[in-house]
A and B are shown apart, each in its own frame.
Chain A
Amino acid sequence: MAALHNQLEILLQIQDLKAQRGELAESTGERKVQEEEFHLNVDEAVHTLDEKITELEEQLKPDVRSRYQRISRGLKRVVVPAIGGMCYGCFVSIPTSVASDAAGPGQVQLLHCENCGRFIYVVD
């Protein structure tokens, strides 16, 4: 597998942290498990995650951050897999040239879906 683009790696981490944050903050089931089984201070944990998300967002290059902010205003998932030549955000086929760029050797390009604008990473 080609190496992940540094900015894509950051975007993936931000999305993972947001998923974690969302569950802690919004899911009563998750909160209950974390508090009862792991004795976690959930409010403190959410605050810590917010700080980490902000820190990672600041590591995005201006053009990437701009697209990221624009997408995240309207869509929950900013980064999605592309499987079988299809964007799994909007389920529209991505052009063959884009897919081949992503699948090539060496470090992959930071790509986005031309239909929905989400950042995409190709899954074999």
Chain B
Amino acid sequence: MVLREFFNKDVVALDLEGETKDDILKELISLLALDDKSEGILFKMLKRRENLGSTGIGRGIAIPHCRSLVVNRLRVAFGRKTSGVDFKAIDNEPVHYFFLIVAPPLEVSNQYLPVLGKIAQFAKETDVPDRLADIETPEDFLKLLEEKAV
């Protein structure tokens, strides 16, 4: 299993417009193309997870994640906000890169935790923040995932 399998260009947004944590979460959720009610429920769940402790892991990267019944399979999205947003990250620095992960409570293939771990591993690679800053198209993002083969 590699991260590239879970992403496609429709779930990549390189110019997020939101200026707040909530706005960013909503924009990321919108990439999943759920109905309005499901988006609302998912937003509440992600907020509750953030209230337990920020998913901003430092170096400009956050991985908001939760399990929810509003999805029937593991869903992911990536967003970039070049100017950065205060996400209460552990290093107190603005966050520029956001990986959203949502999975149903019961998964046959049990991919949620491995995918969460792989994204965290990907984010730790020293050149990743700079590489994410440089990508120009969603295809570039997908190529980066392929290159890293995480």
Contact = CB atoms under 8 A, between A and B. Distances in A.
Contacts of A102: none
Given A1-B35, A33-B113, A123-B72, A13 B53 contact: no
Nearest to A1: B35
A45 B53 CA distance: 8
B25 interface: no
Interface in A98-124: 123
Contact of A30 (B48, B68, B113): B113
Interface of A: 1, 3-4, 9, 12-13, 15-17, 19-20, 23, 27, 29-30, 33, 37-41, 44-45, 48-49, 52, 77, 79, 81, 123
Contacts of B57: 37-38
11 contacts: A3-B37, A9-B41, A13-B41, A16-B68, A17-B45, A23-B67, A37-B57, A39-B90, A77-B106, A81-B69, A123-B72
A39 B53 contact: yes
Given A38-B53, A79-B69, A16 B117 contact: no
B116 interface: yes
Interface in B105-121: 105-106, 113, 116-117, 120
B116 A33 contact: yes
A49 B48 CA distance: 9
B98 to A, nearest CB: 14
Contacts of B117: 33, 37
